[in-house]
Structure 1
Amino acid sequence: MADAMDVDSDAPRIQINLSTRDAAFAVPLQTVRVQTSLRRFGLSTLVNHLLESPKPIPFDFLIDGQYLRTSIDEYLTSAGLSSEKPLDVEYVRAQVPPTYIGSFEQDDWISSVHLSSSAGAATILTGSFDGTAQITSLSGQVFAKTMPYHTQSVKAVTWVDQPSLTSSDPASFLTAGMDRTINLWSYQHSDEPPSSAAPLSATTTYISHKSTINSLSYSPSTSQFLSASSDNTIALWSTDSSLLPTVSAPQPTSFSRKRRRTTQKLPNTEKKGPLAVLTPHTAPVSQITHATDPTAAYSVSWDKSIITHDLVTAQVVDTRVTQHPLLSVTTLPSLNLIAAGSAARHITLHDPRASSGGQQTAVLRGHTNAVVSLARSPESDYLFASGSHDGCVRIWDVRRVAFSADTDSEDKTSGSLFLIKRESGVGKVFGVDWIRDVGLVSVGEDKKIQINRGELMADVTVLDQTGR
């Protein structure tokens, strides 16, 4: 097999052990001898030959957690290795850098984003520092905007029932913010943005928290949602208001009273309290997210901890304490991993299972400011994106990390695969989301929704793979 790759029979060769973790491209473990002058293209040709692919598939190659960006010989020289020793090479389908597609400006800083992916009705839901939320098309047309029920900035948004062109039922979404309240909104989607439309009105207001609400997570299978607050608590709610107690409206703050005098009188909403309030954290809770099992959730906090919750019993299942305040979290369920973004500019990977012993698995470095938002890839179990106050979005591949138990923590580090900068060139990134039908969307201080998608090979910095 390797002989077919050899042009010069006298050229230096090395034995390589080819393997992959992608079942779609797996072949029995192959040990072949190849020229050390081979680069990525030659190795990709070899793998396609082994797979008998009718159409060539581009592959990347990982050696000891690093993408091969030179010839094998150059890699051996830089790593101080001998061609006499077999080399383990993992092949993965090549990732296309997400190209800048476009950006759309709103009236104020954009704090959060959640994408809908219903067939024919993909939209972008955003929350803003002006106290409103907005629904935008992929071409930048505004479908709808909320009335200013929030008297301060909206900090979190999430779809409950996503828009659809095949159903007459209205969509709905939640917003939460610095005014300590959560609002539920109803929205009737149309494939044609209205030339003018009345702002959306809230139907229900959820009240419990005593400080800013930083995060929301909704579970479609249970019709329940979670909120995380700077008052150190997490609240559990249901979108079925009949299951919740009726409460009175919170007392307005001096800031909200001043803001309210400048706005129109708003229709009343029913006011509801939570099913339960969880108090395991000792500092502001930055983010909450449901696990694959909707009866469990993970939260991260400024108290440096990652906590696993049993939502049925409202009990703590597991607590992991890290070295730095944590600001964001996402799950990589097929890998049994949690990624947590920190105020110390890095991301740590953790195995949430009790049997893992509670140690962090790896550290991902590259951002130069706080990591405030994470979103996993819709196409690969191994990829996720991060947004940071350094004004950048980075894409990470966890296959670049050594996961063996006998590797010390300093070696278990990784640099990002791709770096995406703001088209505006300025401002912090506050939120990211990533779905197949839309792409990778980021929002931030520049007041813009920015869309990047893996379609063309341009406008994205492909980082050198030196572990930074």
Structure 2
Amino acid sequence: MDLGESQLQVRLLTKQESIAIPDVPFAVPSIIEHNSLNELVNQLIKENKSDFLKPKELDFLVFGELLRLPLIEHLKEHNISSETTIDIEYIERTPSPEPQESLLHDDWVSGIQTADKWILTGCYDYSINLWTTHGKHVTSSKEHTNIVKQVAWIKSGDPSQGFVSVSHDLTALLWEWEPGTNTVKPCVVLKGHEKGIDSVGISPNSQKIATGGWDTNLKIWSASFENDEEEPVLKKVRGPKNIITRTPLYTLKGHKESITSIDWVDNQTVCTVSMDHTIKFWDAELCGVKSDIVGQKAFLGSSWSSLSNTLLACSADRHIRLYDPRTSEGSVVKITFTSHSLWVSSVKWSKYDEYLFVSGSYDSCVKLWDTRSPRAPLYNLEGHQGQVLVVDWSNNKYLVSGGCDNSVHIFKNKHVF
């Protein structure tokens, strides 16, 4: 039989009432592709909706995956019979983020996080920097004596609560800043690591800080900016510039190489990924490993989604993997995403859409992904001229990335909830 002449029975469905059409079955060519389906559905919407003015860019979900092949090929890949009526769900396509500002630094950018209209960066020239999302440089400071590897706001979305930076000078600093001013000051120094610190994470309730690095130890600290008289582990010491020195609440041992990324799953559970090829979930109260996952290569970055309760981890084999630690059947690796040509250094989930995430790689590329399209990213976000070291999506309106071209690139998300 000539597949070009064969027909499939389909039913077109959507959850969006404004573009819904009667879900009656009808025939389409078996080799129909995304673009032809898009034209067909827009024509049907126009015929059924008198107030429909502008064609929509649509995507099509067939058995949980976005259609990227001719329909008959998609069904074959998923071992789905073409003899039955196929339900196709159509959704509005995620629009491509628009490139905005480029923030030039004096050295490699290794840490980024946004909050409200502010961008916090950490740099290889020992500096931390504050910018507006419109590209204005607010202030910078060089209190560290070695490269700053990561930065994080103490309370997500609220810059007035201060931030933390971690460095290869073996310390982390807690900083105070009043948004809108150009004055930042370190108030607390966290001391206890024996080698450079690579990673930091803040608990959801903003009460605890977790750090990890080249000494292979995970350390848990109080995020308070004040001395707590009931905390015996706090050294009541104020050093130069009236800075409090603090030691860790707990030290958790178990990794064999550097801890490259830290995510808090909840206020008691910390997830770490390491260059020792393992992912570990820790009980931060009982100070022990709850579970671990063994990978094939060194892990370079991770991101936990509270929407889907799954973990993204990227590694030195060019792949990004989605892990479901709760799984009781089959592999904990649920999806593998392959498109980057070199090591993937950083990944970050969207906080507002359980399917979307962004990745950055040593191949100079930033990519926007939908987990329902594992065979290819939705978009390549171009602009970097060197290795991408970090990406962030803490503010839903902006995807940001930084790297070895000494710059931060801002992409505006048009798919805002």
TM-score norm. by structure 1 comes to: 0.76
Query: 2:278, 2:49 → 1: CA distance?
Result: 45
> 1:185-236, CA deviations, whole angstroms, 9 ceiling, x for partnerless residues?
100112xxx6xx5x63211100111112111111241511111111111111
2:233 aligns with 245
Aligned partner (choices 171, 180, 185) of residue 181 of structure 1: 171
**What secondary structure sits across from 2:162 in the alignment?**
strand
1:150 aligns with 144
**What secondary structure sits across from 1:300 in the alignment?**
strand
Aligned partner (choices 130, 142, 148) of residue 135 of structure 1: 130
2:38 aligns with 40
Report the CA distance shift for 1:42/1:299 in structure 2 as closer, same or farther (over 3 A): same
Query: 1:394, 1:44 → 2: CA distance?
Result: 28
- The alpha carbon displacement at 1:151 in A equals 0.6
Tell me if 1:272 matches 2:246.
Answer: yes
2:377 aligns with 416
Amino acid at match of 1:132: S
1:21-100 map, 5 Å: 30=23, 32-36=25-29, 38-46=36-44, 58-63=57-62, 67-68=66-67, 86-100=85-99
> 1:261-303, CA deviations, whole angstroms, 9 ceiling, x for partnerless residues?
xxxx962521100110111212211111011x22112111111
How many correspondences in the alignment?
A: 400
CA contact (8 A) 2:218 2:252 kept: yes
**What secondary structure sits across from 2:372 in the alignment?**
helix
Query: 1:361, 1:171 → 2: CA distance?
Result: 37
1:260 aligns with none
Query: 2:19, 2:279 → 1: CA distance?
Result: 35
Report the CA distance shift for 1:141/1:15 in structure 2 as closer, same or farther (over 3 A): same
CA contact (8 A) 1:244 1:272 kept: no
Amino acid at match of 2:146: Q
2:342 aligns with 369
2:284 aligns with 311
CA contact (8 A) 2:21 2:44 kept: no
Amino acid at match of 1:321: V
Aligned partner (choices 185, 197, 218) of residue 201 of structure 1: 185
2:371 aligns with 398
**What secondary structure sits across from 1:399 in the alignment?**
coil
> 1:314-333, CA deviations, whole angstroms, 9 ceiling, x for partnerless residues?
22111111111111111233
CA contact (8 A) 1:162 1:172 kept: no
Report the CA distance shift for 1:177/1:295 in structure 2 as closer, same or farther (over 3 A): same
Identity within the alignment, %: 27
Query: 1:51, 1:334 → 2: CA distance?
Result: 33
Report the CA distance shift for 1:25/1:160 in structure 2 as closer, same or farther (over 3 A): farther
Query: 1:208, 1:47 → 2: CA distance?
Result: 63
Query: 2:83, 2:326 → 1: CA distance?
Result: 40
Query: 1:182, 1:310 → 2: CA distance?
Result: 22
1:16 aligns with 10
Amino acid at match of 2:149: K
1:342 aligns with 315
CA contact (8 A) 1:160 1:220 kept: no
- The alpha carbon displacement at 1:431 in A equals 0.9
1:295-334 map, 5 Å: 295-334=268-307
**What secondary structure sits across from 2:307 in the alignment?**
helix
> 1:37-65, CA deviations, whole angstroms, 9 ceiling, x for partnerless residues?
64223235547888998676542013467
1:7 aligns with none
- The alpha carbon displacement at 1:362 in A equals 1.8
**What secondary structure sits across from 1:40 in the alignment?**
helix
2:256 aligns with 282
1:230 aligns with 214
Amino acid at match of 1:380: D
Amino acid at match of 1:273: T
User: Which of the pair has the greater relative contact order for Cα pairs under 8 Å at 6+ separation?
Assistant: 1
Query: 2:324, 2:49 → 1: CA distance?
Result: 33
CA contact (8 A) 2:350 2:396 kept: no
CA contact (8 A) 1:153 1:179 kept: yes
Higher mean alpha-carbon deviation, 105-114 vs 371-380, is at 371-380
**What secondary structure sits across from 1:451 in the alignment?**
strand
- The alpha carbon displacement at 1:14 in A equals 2.3
Tell me if 1:446 matches 2:405.
Answer: yes
Query: 1:86, 1:123 → 2: CA distance?
Result: 50
> 1:439-464, CA deviations, whole angstroms, 9 ceiling, x for partnerless residues?
111111111110112449xxxxxxxx
Query: 1:301, 1:420 → 2: CA distance?
Result: 27
Report the CA distance shift for 1:312/1:173 in structure 2 as closer, same or farther (over 3 A): same
- The alpha carbon displacement at 1:387 in A equals 1.0
Report the CA distance shift for 1:171/1:91 in structure 2 as closer, same or farther (over 3 A): same
- The alpha carbon displacement at 1:29 in A equals 11
Query: 1:392, 1:398 → 2: CA distance?
Result: 18
2:200 aligns with 216
> 1:60-103, CA deviations, whole angstroms, 9 ceiling, x for partnerless residues?
01346764467758978999999755434343331101121121
Report the CA distance shift for 1:44/1:285 in structure 2 as closer, same or farther (over 3 A): farther
TM-score norm. by structure 2 comes to: 0.84
Amino acid at match of 1:40: N
Structure 2: any 5+ residue segments left out of the alignment?
none
Query: 1:275, 1:182 → 2: CA distance?
Result: 14
Amino acid at match of 2:94: Q
Report the CA distance shift for 1:33/1:152 in structure 2 as closer, same or farther (over 3 A): same
Query: 2:77, 2:289 → 1: CA distance?
Result: 48
Query: 1:110, 1:355 → 2: CA distance?
Result: 40
More strand by share: 2
CA contact (8 A) 2:351 2:396 kept: no
